[in-house]
């Protein structure tokens, strides 16, 4: 009698994912009861995210490498690190959302359930070791974000954002899916371990030339789809409209979570899965994407007069900085990317959080995102003005904030590769530094408006709920901590690169 083989399941390893799934289901049940109008959905969302974060921290203490479902899911330190960033960003987004939902026509329970489901999909994608599981995680969080971006159905701009995000997101998902299909056709496997071994042989010229070309085409399509998710030029034109029309706390979470997991998958593809052969093939492609993203993002942001659109094009520029680190393909580049993303998470959530509080909500939707609305904010709300100044200075890269340290590490990685003979990285380092100076023009414009421009009419003081104020304060203080004491987090990211390289060595036998 034939034995049926079942994959080993480590339920504890699935703790963060299962916790979010259960919490989301409970919230959907609450949505059908009278309790949906009270504080219960907010409390359940916080409890679910807190439990998931605690479960993730417990996994961090267990071991360096954990797997389940026949190695389809791998909870290595890189996945746990990015999972922690996703959960923290979701937690801060929930804290920013309660006050927003009081004035927006959106169902709170369904809103929080979708936010938790999006975070769950991101965790699945971050820990995926199989092309099919990567696609499953991608679809879970993408569908949830499509709905969240248009959850304020009475507002035309929100519906427009949801439609654009859905259509263009589905288009980019098609690129990724076709890429996976071509990789499967070339390697005969969906498992990254088997793909890794077969791909290295094909790219080294050992095997069928047609299969090698099919593999390269598949990788090109996957990189194009992931470039859409990270908002790299020329795959970025959905960003300003979607960021502007979506609920602001959703925009903050979308900007951080989607970029984070997409960059981690991209990092796995070009450093771990397909090794040095792929890096030599695609370094120039990633470098060109980085250069274009920094150039277009910073220059277009200069002419924006809407804070959300300015931050949208700013996120395009920051995708360029992060792509420099990925293209470097070194331990310093990996560490710089992971460290910089922690700083980017705090600045983005904090900046969008302040923007959400300062904006007005009318029957037509969110208004008051014009930069002129920040005139005189230092007098009416000195705390918010100070926090926004910290976020703008960190995005610029001013010491002693975390944004400066992160950019320093990235440009150091680029200069290191440049000194080794890759001149394109010297160009990237110089361009990145010069464009960071250019970015100061639009970031400092917000600060100048808050402190040096008088408002046209006296505006009432912005009321800040304690939970939203706490989230903004945590983000601002976190930037100072990472800027003044970067060693702990940076050493952690160095160990993450070592883990990725060790895993690649194991895979390659």
Pairing of strands 67-68, 365-367: unpaired
Residue 506, C-beta contacts closer than 8 angstroms, at least 6 positions apart: none
CB 443 within 8 Å of CB 359: no
Segment 144-171, tens digit of pLDDT: 999 999 888 777 888 888 899 998 888 8
Residue 295 has pLDDT above 60, yes or no: yes
Domain presence at residue 188: yes
pLDDT of residue 93: 94
7 compared with 379, residue with greater pLDDT: 379
pLDDT of residue 127: 87
Task: Tell me the mean pLDDT in the region 283-290.
Answer: 88
Q: What is the mean pLDDT of the chain?
A: 85
> Which among 18, 85, 133 has a CA at the least distance from the CA of 257?
85
Element (H, E) at 68: strand 67-68
405 compared with 500, residue with greater pLDDT: 405
| Residues pairing with 291 in the sheet | none
Domain presence at residue 299: yes
3 state SS of 306: strand
Domain presence at residue 14: no
Report the range of poorest mean pLDDT among 32-36, 65-69, 181-185, 414-418: 65-69
Domain count, the chain: 1
Residue 502 has pLDDT above 60, yes or no: no
d(CA 341, CA 126): 14
Domain extent at residue 190: 23-508
| Residues pairing with 306 in the sheet | 370
Domain presence at residue 152: yes
Domain presence at residue 249: yes
Residue 4 has pLDDT above 50, yes or no: yes
Residue 364 has pLDDT above 60, yes or no: no
Residue 437 has pLDDT above 80, yes or no: yes
Residue 395, C-beta contacts closer than 8 angstroms, at least 6 positions apart: 314, 318, 347, 351, 403, 439, 443
> Which among 486, 317, 474, 323 has a CA at the least distance from the CA of 399?
486
Task: Tell me the mean pLDDT in the region 316-328.
Answer: 92
Domain presence at residue 2: no
Task: Tell me the mean pLDDT in the region 426-444.
Answer: 93
d(CA 216, CA 358): 48
Domain presence at residue 7: no
Residue 138 has pLDDT above 70, yes or no: yes
- Which percentage of the chain shows pLDDT scores above 90? 46
Q: For residues 187-204, b (16+ Cβ closer than 10 Å) or e, as one string?
A: bebbbbbebbbbbbebbe
Catalogue the E-assigned strands of 348-469. 360-362, 365-367
463 compared with 113, residue with greater pLDDT: 113
d(CA 335, CA 350): 23
pLDDT of residue 60: 81
pLDDT of residue 363: 44
> Which among 51, 26, 39 has a CA at the least distance from the CA of 113?
26
Domain presence at residue 282: yes
């Amino acid at each position: 009698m034939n034995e049926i083989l079942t994959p080993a399941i480590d339920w504890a390893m699935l703790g963060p994912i299962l916790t979010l799934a259960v919490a989301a289901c409970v919230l959907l049940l609450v949505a059908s009861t009278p309790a949906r109008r009270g504080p219960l959905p907010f409390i359940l969302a916080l409890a679910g995210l807190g439990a998931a974060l605690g479960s993730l921290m417990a996994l961090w203490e267990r071991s360096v490498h954990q797997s389940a479902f026949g190695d389809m899911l791998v909870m290595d330190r890189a996945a746990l690190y990015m999972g922690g960033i996703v959960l923290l960003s979701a937690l801060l987004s929930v804290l920013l959302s309660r006050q927003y939902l009081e004035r927006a026509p959106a169902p709170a329970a369904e809103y929080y359930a979708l936010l938790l489901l999006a975070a769950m999909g991101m965790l699945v994608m971050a820990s995926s070791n199989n092309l099919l599981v990567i696609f499953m995680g991608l679809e879970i969080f993408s569908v949830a974000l499509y709905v969240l971006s248009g959850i304020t159905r009475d507002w035309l701009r929100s519906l427009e954002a949801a439609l654009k995000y859905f259509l263009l997101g589905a288009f980019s998902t098609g690129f990724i899916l076709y890429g996976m299909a071509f990789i499967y056709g070339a390697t005969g496997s969906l498992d990254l371990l088997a793909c890794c071994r077969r791909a290295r042989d094909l790219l080294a010229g050992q095997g069928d030339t047609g299969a090698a070309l099919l593999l390269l085409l598949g990788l090109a399509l996957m990189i194009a789809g992931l470039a859409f998710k990270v908002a790299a030029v020329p795959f970025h034109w959905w960003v300003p409209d979607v960021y502007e029309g979506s609920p602001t706390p959703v925009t903050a979470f979308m900007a951080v979570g989607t970029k984070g997991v997409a960059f981690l998958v991209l990092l796995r593809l070009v450093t771990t899965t397909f090794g040095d052969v792929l890096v030599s093939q695609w370094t120039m492609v990633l470098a060109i994407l980085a250069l274009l993203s920094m150039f277009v993002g910073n220059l277009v942001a200069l002419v924006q007069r809407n804070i959300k659109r300015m931050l949208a094009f700013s996120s395009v520029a920051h995708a360029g900085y992060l792509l420099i680190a990925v293209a470097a393909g070194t331990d310093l580049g990996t560490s710089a990317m992971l460290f910089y993303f922690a700083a980017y998470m705090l600045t983005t959530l904090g900046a969008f959080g302040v923007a959400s509080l300062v904006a007005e909500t009318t029957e037509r939707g969110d208004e008051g995102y014009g930069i002129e609305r920040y005139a005189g904010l230092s007098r009416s709300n000195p705390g918010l003005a100070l926090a926004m100044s910290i976020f703008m200075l960190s995005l610029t890269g001013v010491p002693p904030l975390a944004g400066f340290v992160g950019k320093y590490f990235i440009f150091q990685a680029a200069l290191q590769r440049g000194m080794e003979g890759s001149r394109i990285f010297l160009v990237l380092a110089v361009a990145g530094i010069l464009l960071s100076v250019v970015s100061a023009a639009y970031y400092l414009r917000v600060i100048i408006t808050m402190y040096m421009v008088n408002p046209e009419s006296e505006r009432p003081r912005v009321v800040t709920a304690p939970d939203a104020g706490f989230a903004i304060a945590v983000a601002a203080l976190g930037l100072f901590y990472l800027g003044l004491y970067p060693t702990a987090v940076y050493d952690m990211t160095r160990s993450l690169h070592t883990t990725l390289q060790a895993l690649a060595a194991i895979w390659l036998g």
